[in-house]
Amino acid sequence: MARKEVLPLVEKEKEKFVDQMINQELKNMQTLAKIKVKKPKKPKKPKKKKPKKNKLPGASAIRDKDTYELLVELINHNIVKKLPPQKLTDFIGEFNYIHSMLDDINFGPRDPSMALIRQLVTEYIIFPLGSKMVRQRLPEHVRAFLFYGPAGTGKTQVVRAIAAETKSVVFDMSP
Q: Which helix (H) or strand (E) holds 132?
A: helix 132-137
Q: How many CA atoms lie within 13 A of 126 on its CB side?
A: 17
The domains of the chain, with CATH numbers, are 67-171 (3.40.50.300)
124-170: pLDDT as tens digits: 788 777 777 877 777 676 677 788 888 887 888 888 888 888 888 77
**Tens place of pLDDT for every residue, the chain, 175 residues?**
677 778 888 888 888 888 888 888 888 887 877 766 666 677 777 777 766 666 777 777 777 888 888 888 888 888 887 778 888 877 776 655 555 555 555 665 566 677 777 887 888 788 777 777 877 777 676 677 788 888 887 888 888 888 888 888 777 776 6
- Return d(Cα 15, Cα 65) in angstroms, integer: 69
- Return d(Cα 80, Cα 69) in angstroms, integer: 13
Q: pTM for this one?
A: 0.50
